[in-house]
Amino acid sequence: MDKLLSQIYGLSPEQLKAYSAHVMLGGGSRGGPILERGKGVRVWDTEGKDYIDCTSQSWALYLGYANDAINAIIHEHIENMTHIHQGFDTKARYYLAHKLASLAPAGMNRVSFTVGGGPAIEAAMKIAFKNIQPSRDFVTLFDSYHGTTLGTMGASWISTKSIGKFFGGSRFLPLTRAFVRIPNPVTYRNPLGVDTETYIDICLTMTREIFQRGTSGKPAGVIVEPIQASAGQLILPTRYLQELRKICDEFETLLIYDEIQTFGRIGDVFAANHFGVAPDIIVLGKGLGAGLPLAAIIISDKLEGFQGDTEELHTFANPSLSMITAAKQLEMFENGVLANCREMGAYLGSQLCALCATYPEVGDVRQLGMHIGVELVDDPESKNPLEKEAGEIRKAGFRHGLILGTGGVRRNVLKIKPPLIINRSECDEILEKFTASLCDVLRK
């Protein structure tokens, strides 16, 4: 082993404690173990304890830790190239762009690559501004999350509602703009207490009103996560997306899908294809590079794309290694990974639903592929959120060797989003550990 690597791997608990003072974090729920190595769906900490990872590390390690096929292709390709300037073409970039275009909805054929999810949303915003003129505003849904760059912060979660607690509060306001918000069609609990179909109609009516009277001229685009992940794993109804598409056409604004979390994880490459409603721009990130950094936008043939005059230029926007791993992963998607994701996701979903019989606190299970959220409430009638308990269950999960995510506007949603390669006995292990964690907290 390289001497430096053995020095790093050999850092003592005292050194780790001392060095941690130098690490400055701007987010993420800390308090978990220090991770040392992983394989498949499992990761080990520095104490040698193992965990099944239901977060896939920011939901991005679709093929799990240290995937053999991905590692092999990395080793081969790394002998040839890693970083290439955006201005030079490579076979890897041609191949991946072609592959993504061939899988995307018809008429979406141009791909621009970039360095991360937030910058990819901003790339989509630039395309929207270029094509919809004059325009000033972007519209997004209540409780959406689209990144923490200065350009996307205002579109994210509760930033427009809360000065102080999130996203640096007012300190970033000089360069952060609030986005115009439209109501999200929540199916589990809506503020008016009406049935879901009626609430969808109300959301759509309000959206029309806001487009007419709540924006400064024509909005450049509406940015939508087909499954609102941070908001609490809210799966948008197909009818809502169909009608939103019509509203965007009527008001001549662009429909932009943030597919950063749904890509592949829902058991289909693109949410646009799954829901059968095509947007004008699709944004990808997170799992796109099979664990290596990569993000992209795919745009409709109807739109004017980027020009080569430095409208969109990033040092690391042509990462050859990530493009090779992304292409390999797409091949693996077709050779069983997505089918497994659909099958194991449905199994996990049905078993989690069955937990409601013993734990009425399991108020709702929302599942599409391996995109799963469990909403905890005090009882199924009142649906009062169990925020504190959700945090405690996450901690109990660590004790049982299970890494869970938490989220939702009320912080009462547990997220179960493991790598897509998970098998049946690993699903059973998740269910067993999850139930034990529920029992520790809810039946103590």
Ligand X SMILES: Cc1ncc(COP(=O)(O)O)c(C=O)c1O
> Interface residues with ligand X (CB under 6 A)?
116-118, 121, 145-147, 225, 229, 258, 260-261, 285
- Please identify, using beta-carbon distances, which residue of 44 and 316 lies nearer to ligand X: 316
Q: Are 284 and 329 in contact (CB under 8 A)?
A: no
- The radius of gyration computed from the CA coordinates of the chain, to the nearest angstrom, equals 22
> What kind and span of H or E run contains 51?
strand 50-53
Question: Which residue do the tokens 């058991």 mark?
Answer: 267
Longest Cα pair distance anywhere in the chain, in angstroms? 65
C-beta nearest to ligand X: residue: 117
Work out whether strand 180-182 and strand 138-141 pair parallel, antiparallel, or are unpaired. Answer: parallel
Nearer to ligand X, 40 or 118 (CB): 118
> What distance in Å separates the CA atoms of residue 13 and residue 100, rounded to the nearest whole number?
45
Shortest separation between residue 228's beta carbon and ligand X, angstroms? 8
Which is closer to ligand X, CB of 258 or CB of 361? Answer: 258
Nearer to ligand X, 147 or 264 (CB): 147
Residue 167 has a CB neighbour count (10 Å cut-off) of: 22
Instruction: Give the nearer residue to ligand X in terms of CB position, either 118 or 267.
Output: 118
Cβ contacts of residue 122 below 8 Å, gap of 6+? 147, 149, 151, 152
Cα 156 to chain centroid distance, Å, stands at 12
* Minimum distance of ligand X from residue 157's CB (angstroms): 10
Q: Minimal distance in Å, beta carbon 145 to ligand X?
A: 5
Do the beta carbons of residue 421 and residue 41 sit within 8 Å?
yes
Contact present, 184 and 200 (Cβ < 8 Å): no
User: Phi and psi (nearest 5°) for 271?
Assistant: -65, -35
Q: How far apart, in whole angstroms, are the C-alpha atoms of residue 329 and residue 323?
A: 10
Read off the tokens for 269: 């490459």
Distance CA 331, CA 297 (A): 20
- Complex with ligand X: residue 322 or 437, whichever CB lies closer: 322
- Whichever of 116 and 363 has its CB closer to ligand X, that residue is 116
Kindly state the smallest distance separating residue 265's Cβ from ligand X, in Å.
11
Measured from the CB atom, is 328 or 417 closer to ligand X?
417
What token pair was written down for 21? 């003072």
Q: Which residue has the tokens 């693996």?
A: 332
In the complex, least distance from residue 443 CB atom to ligand X, rounded to whole angstroms? 33
3-class SS of residue 57: helix
Q: How far is the CB of 340 from ligand X (least distance, A)?
A: 23
What single-letter DSSP state applies at residue 403? E
Question: Least distance to ligand X from the beta carbon of 289, Å?
Answer: 11
Closest approach, Cβ 18 to ligand X, in A, equals 29
Provide the minimum distance between the beta carbon of 36 and ligand X in the complex, in angstroms, as a whole number: 24
Please identify, using beta-carbon distances, which residue of 116 and 232 lies nearer to ligand X: 116
* Residue 376 host element (H or E): strand 371-376
